[in-house]
Structure 1
Amino acid sequence: MHEDEEMTPNERAWLHFLRDIADGRDPAPTLRRVQLLRRLCAPNRPAHARRQTKGGLSCHR
């Protein structure tokens, strides 16, 4: 994305979502965090796999 491009409504929604789950922090997008977020957002995930992991991001509070 170029600096002169405007964000779409969906991009803005994702940014708000990431800010919400970061709970006021500004964590760097490490490989581990990106992988965890991808797993959380993947369809057909079993409920036991949705637990928060130490040092990672979680959609559940």
Structure 2
Amino acid sequence: LSRFKEAFDEYAGRIVIGAVAGIVIEEGVDRYAYHKGLFVIGQRGDTVRILNDGKFVPRHF
């Protein structure tokens, strides 16, 4: 994501945030993404939702 704006210059003046999503998330991957400032989207029952807690601060790219 740090190079995203190089490829898509129309986003040069905008704040970009990132996310990872998965139906099955391997142990530790969610914590890694969280600590890198990415939203974590996962399946809960029949729906998907953002799994980050209220303390999460997204990284701006």
Give the strand-richer structure, 1 or 2: 2
Q: Name the TM-score class by shorter chain.
A: under 0.3
TM-score (norm 1): 0.26
